[in-house]
Amino acid sequence: MRSMLFLAVAAFVAPPAFSASLPPRSAWQASSSSQQVPALAPPHAIDGDETTRWGGSFSPGQWFQVDLGKVARVGGVRIHWDSGFAASYSIQVSTDGKTFRPVYTVTDSPGGTEYLVFPATDARYVRLAAPARTADWGVSVFEFEPMAADDVATISGLAGKDDGASLWADGHPRAVAGKGAERDVDIRLPHPLDIAGVEVQWEGPRAGVELQSKGASGPWTTVDSDPGTAGDTSYLAAAAPFKASALRLKIAAGDGTPTIRRLRFLGPARMMTGMKRYQVAATRANASLFPSSLHMQQVYWTDVGVPAGLQKAIFDEYGDIEPFKGGPLVQAIWRGADGAARIADNGERTHALRDRWKPMPSVGWAAQPGLDVTAEAFAVQDGAQPVVLVRHRLVNHGAGTVDGRLFLVVRPMQVNPPWQNGGPSPIHDITVASDAVEVNGRTLFTPLTRPDAMGAAPFGDHGATEITQAIAAGTLPAATTATDAQGLAAGSLAYDVHLAPHEQRDVVIAFPLGTTPANADGSLPAPPPIDRKRISADAFDALAGQVAAEWQKRLGSVGLSLPDESLVDILRSQAAYMLVNQTGHAMQAGPRNYNRSFIRDGAATASILLRMGEVKTARDYLDWYASHAVHENGLVSPILNADGTVNRGFGSDIEYDSQGEFINLVADVARFGGGPESVRAYLPKVRAAMHFMQELRERTMVPGYLADLPAAQRFHGIIAPSISHEGYSSPTHSYWDDWWALKGWHDGAWLADQWGDKELAAYARTQYAALRESVGASIRATMAWKGVDTIPAAADLGDGDPTSVSIALDPAGQMDVLPHDALVTTFDRYLADVRKREQPGELFAYTPYELRNVLTYVYLNRPADAAELLNIVVRDRRPPEWNMWAEVVHSRLRHPGYLGDMPHTWIGAEYARLLFGMLMREADDGLYLLPGAPPAWVAGDGLTVSKLPVAYGVLTMAARRQGDTLDVTLDKGIRADTPVRVFWPSRVKPARVLVDGKPAKAWDADGIHLDHPFHTLKATFTP
């Protein structure tokens, strides 16, 4: 995943000097149960360098440990995590390296820098161990530093005799000593710590708490405070990291004895930000009316926009909307006449897309018994700018009158949550009026339905004037403007509702997205006014109908039908999402975390759009990318920014799959979008990309290349190391690059043939054959060196990654390069792992890129396994009715883990490719029909394919089984000299086969080979 590629910065300040009474660091040795590449070897986590790191697996049974050299008294550990951190883990110790016991266990690690304290113990070996049940794939650690017992924090001011070290771990409450109204708990720090503050979890009552800090000299100063009794956690942090030599908690006791359940140091990065202050407020009064992400609950969304628009909104599963990237969230709150307030997050919801597939989402929820609310969103082009319309329709389905208020609240946060690189959307100034809501001087939205009341408020000290409390009371502040230095102002419109039985009321608002890109600071320039004559509340249905008709014209005629209509709906939705995610000509895989275009995503997306009839869109993307990214030496930059500039971030010049993907895209445009002559102008760039691929291979052929490593022949003649494969954040000899290079050579040879360039075609075939031989030899050598019986993903590691291996089969077409038995074993074990995660209670996280593996089972002639895997991944759409996936699927629906982006249309492209690939395969030796179609696809009315562009022409086909007879019809469109192979979905040998009314001569249990296309084929099976 891309998130693994983003290196965390070293600590805010220099690391403290610990371990004075431990053996010297030079005596320490680090080891682990696994590592990724030499650049991530275990010693990097104890070298004192905050920029080097260890990285490895962290599934159950995995560990990292430090051998101190001899037994010492240990009392804590400092861990500086990379971006890949473990939410759950234990610290275990041993004196002999054989028997380990836990001394610290955590289930909610925040990552960053953690200072762990535990009761002093004798240890020589200190281990970071994965829990028995975890969904982590892998972790990486910049520094893992055991601390001597006399170097860790000690606590005074607690009731009881022991030193309170257990308070730093889970679940050991301690009462605060004393009898006065104010009581002190002192935290002594033998060495100054660079921290942001302290988090206190309470077990019993208290009336407030203040955190004070003291440096090496000087007075006590207040860091932060948490007044009152609300909440069970006090997050006490400064606005910037500070160096503390001592800390003090001044606790107001109130009516009882304060009891602390747990203490935790807040690492330097965990400062008190406006977003954190807002999150704390959301845990106190009226907590149920705040968006779920503030309670650390995962949220899912889709995007709403016009094709290729510069801005697109995201609309979440609760009906909240973030109108543009980084923009403030607008949320609906209902308050009934009974005084109860409610949001969509509080109960069950329904989801839908217009006509089951169009990118016009809706969310339905029950505001109170008998009252249903439906939020609908779509985007319309208004002159040069997109405008997103949202309607909240309230319908009284009950027998009595409904009275209440609908509030539309503008909050200083994004739909995109903090763990997704989203979070805050600062509102320093807000003005609410009947004709416009302005945020930070820009019109955010226009109320097309006039509000009955409006108000705005600053956040206030500790949220004293935060607007939710007024809404919960059914009112709004009298002020209609608010200013907040913290960026936490909010505003709301209110609509009075009085509905007789079966009456309804609509509330419509419009978000103008403007005509220009965002400013460098992420802010959006002011938009032009919307056309109020055309865009009005009354026109909502008519405009929605026009937009639906436009999507129908553009994608509704896709010529595919299956008995399970949802599979086709997903295909259409994904094509629509591809167009909405696009910014200008730039293909982007998502609406929020992708403000740039990767050729690997874009080429895959463009190829699917070509088959869906979007030829101009795909050609425009190819023209745009080629004009900006293909350099004179043939390097194809893997990433372009949306404005066409080359992205110079990490990996910009060490991703080596891009040349093959570029050539493949040129070939696909030729095949499906105008013919070889239409892309002849790309010949120089294709030739240059070929020469660069040759250069990349020759880098590993120099004498003595990596000769100091065992089995060095495994590196010979393959593509040079890169980070194209998203599982490797250090340059690695990943076969991913080789498969794409082979695809580039293969398609380059075909293009050269079509262009009549015999010399270039011969050159491409020579290089293709040489690389095939080297890759095959490398895989065999790596398997022998590693002692594995599965296909490795990288020559460096001999590791397993079935999802990248699948690329070798499709689209690269290199199945015969792979040792067959190892290929079968690889995917037997993979499917066993998939089935294991289907067991109740299993924890897992996976990426729906695994859809690629469906076609591997088709190539292995295991269509039942292909259908099983497809059904499992399709089930994991979130929410399913919106026909989309995030980049990561977590078994825990609400786990606040990174999910990449959504709708993720590179995954959508993989879905489309597998769907087409189960229906047909464009092999070098002809056209295969129904290679992966399961029996269910030809049941009932069967399947039809109409005017699908394929390498051999245009495919129009129908297949249906009735009783014992399978009928397949093939209309004109496939070139007359094309060999055709038809697979039987049941993989049972029929008793008789007629081709165009004449008995066929030979067939088997898999299918039948024909020298040329047919019109009708009838296979009769014995009952």
Q: Which of 17-21, 226-230, 616-620, 821-825 has the lowest mean pLDDT?
A: 17-21
Model pLDDT for residues 193-238, shown as the tens digit of each residue: 999 999 999 998 889 999 999 988 889 999 999 998 888 999 999 9
Tell whether the model's pLDDT for residue 18 goes beyond 60: no
Q: Kindly state whether residues 602 and 633 are assigned to the same domain.
A: yes
Residue 779 CA to residue 797 CA, distance in Å, equals 11
What does pTM read for this prediction? 0.94
Q: Quote the pLDDT of residue 1.
A: 42
CA of residue 732 relative to chain centroid, distance? 23
CATH code of 430's domain:
2.70.98
Tell whether the model's pLDDT for residue 2 goes beyond 70: no
* Among candidate residues 919, 942, 965, the one where a domain is terminated: 919
341 confidence band (pLDDT: 50, 70, 90): very high
Domain-located, residue 532:
yes
**Contact criterion met (CB below 8 Å) for 673 and 610:** yes
Tell whether the model's pLDDT for residue 36 goes beyond 90: no
Domain-located, residue 293:
no
The identity of residue 733, as a single letter, is: H
The pairing of strands 926-929 and 980-983 is: parallel
3-state secondary structure 966-1006: EEEEECECECCCCCEEEECCCCCCCCEEEECCEECCCCCCC
CATH code of 1011's domain:
2.60.40
Q: Quote the pLDDT of residue 4.
A: 36
Average pLDDT score over residue span 999-1014: 98
Which structure tokens are listed for 939? 């049941």
Domain-located, residue 281:
no
Model pLDDT for residues 108-131, shown as the tens digit of each residue: 888 999 999 999 999 999 999 988
Q: Kindly state whether residues 830 and 862 are assigned to the same domain.
A: yes
Burial of 860 (0-12, 13-18, 19+ CB in 10 A): middle
Nearest to 621 by CA among 678, 565, 681, 665: 665
* Among candidate residues 896, 919, 942, the one where a domain is terminated: 919
Q: Quote the pLDDT of residue 595.
A: 82
Cα-based angle 866, 930, 1020 (whole degrees, multiple of 5): 115
Domain-located, residue 872:
yes
Nearest to 499 by CA among 407, 406, 375: 406
Domain-located, residue 841:
yes
Q: Quickly list DSSP for 676-713.
A: GGGGGGGHHHHHHHHHHHHHHHHTT-STTTTTTSTTGG
Q: Kindly state whether residues 318 and 462 are assigned to the same domain.
A: yes
Tell whether the model's pLDDT for residue 10 goes beyond 70: no
The identity of residue 752, as a single letter, is: A
CATH code of 21's domain:
2.60.120.260
Q: Kindly state whether residues 431 and 462 are assigned to the same domain.
A: yes
Domain-located, residue 283:
no
Q: Kindly state whether residues 702 and 565 are assigned to the same domain.
A: yes
Q: Kindly state whether residues 911 and 932 are assigned to the same domain.
A: no
Tell whether the model's pLDDT for residue 138 goes beyond 90: no
- Work out the angle between the directed axes of helices 852-859 and 802-809 (0-180°, nearest 10): 60
Q: Kindly state whether residues 903 and 967 are assigned to the same domain.
A: no
Q: DSSP letter at 585? A: T
CATH code of 750's domain:
1.50.10.10
Tell whether the model's pLDDT for residue 133 goes beyond 50: yes
Which range marks the domain in which residue 450 is found?
A: 299-551
Residue 783 CA to residue 793 CA, distance in Å, equals 10
Q: Quote the pLDDT of residue 11.
A: 38
Q: Across the chain, what does the average pLDDT equal?
A: 94
Q: With b meaning 16 or more CB within 10 Å and e meaning fewer, what string describes 346-371? A: beebebbbbeebbbbbbbbbbbbebb
Which structure tokens are listed for 934? 């399961």
Residues 6+ apart with CB under 8 A from 669: 606, 610, 618, 619, 622, 678, 679
Q: Kindly state whether residues 943 and 903 are assigned to the same domain.
A: no
Greater confidence (15 vs 420) lies with 420
Nearest to 20 by CA among 70, 64, 72, 71: 72
CA of residue 553 relative to chain centroid, distance? 31
Nearest to 316 by CA among 351, 282, 346: 351
Tell whether the model's pLDDT for residue 7 goes beyond 50: no
Which structure tokens are listed for 573? 């939705």
Average pLDDT score over residue span 733-747: 98
**Contact criterion met (CB below 8 Å) for 544 and 508:** no
Tell whether the model's pLDDT for residue 420 goes beyond 80: yes
By residue count, the chain amounts to 1023
Domain-located, residue 833:
yes
Tell whether the model's pLDDT for residue 724 goes beyond 80: yes
HSE-CB of 479 using CA atoms within 13 angstroms: 15
Residue 958 CA to residue 948 CA, distance in Å, equals 12
Q: Kindly state whether residues 737 and 597 are assigned to the same domain.
A: yes
Q: Kindly state whether residues 545 and 571 are assigned to the same domain.
A: no
Cβ neighbours around 101 below 10 Å, total: 11
Report how many domains make up the chain.
5
Residue 798 CA to residue 806 CA, distance in Å, equals 16
Tell whether the model's pLDDT for residue 16 goes beyond 80: no
3-state secondary structure of 789: coil
**H-run or E-run covering 826:** helix 820-836
Average pLDDT score over residue span 165-169: 86
Q: Quote the pLDDT of residue 9.
A: 35
15 confidence band (pLDDT: 50, 70, 90): low
Nearest to 643 by CA among 658, 628, 632, 630: 628
20 confidence band (pLDDT: 50, 70, 90): low
Q: With b meaning 16 or more CB within 10 Å and e meaning fewer, what string describes 533-558? A: eebbbebbeebbeebbebbeebbeeb
Which structure tokens are listed for 541? 């249905």
Q: DSSP letter at 158? A: B
Q: Kindly state whether residues 752 and 789 are assigned to the same domain.
A: yes
Model pLDDT for residues 58-95, shown as the tens digit of each residue: 788 889 999 999 999 999 999 999 988 888 999 999 99
**Contact criterion met (CB below 8 Å) for 46 and 18:** no
Residue 339 CA to residue 343 CA, distance in Å, equals 13
**Whose structure tokens read 């489309």?**
912
Q: Kindly state whether residues 314 and 259 are assigned to the same domain.
A: no
**Contact criterion met (CB below 8 Å) for 13 and 241:** yes
**Whose structure tokens read 């440990």?**
65
* Among candidate residues 505, 522, 551, the one where a domain is terminated: 551
* Strand order, beta sheet including 965-970: 559-561, 943-950, 953-962, 965-970, 1016-1020, 992-995, 998-999
Domain-located, residue 290:
no
Alpha-carbon dihedral sign for residues 84, 295, 107, 879: negative
Q: Quote the pLDDT of residue 649.
A: 82
Q: Quote the pLDDT of residue 601.
A: 95
The identity of residue 234, as a single letter, is: S
Q: Quote the pLDDT of residue 34.
A: 81
CA of residue 578 relative to chain centroid, distance? 16
**H-run or E-run covering 262:** strand 259-266
Cα-based angle 659, 660, 663 (whole degrees, multiple of 5): 90
Q: Quote the pLDDT of residue 17.
A: 52
Model pLDDT for residues 553-581, shown as the tens digit of each residue: 999 888 899 999 999 999 999 999 999 99
Q: Quote the pLDDT of residue 475.
A: 98
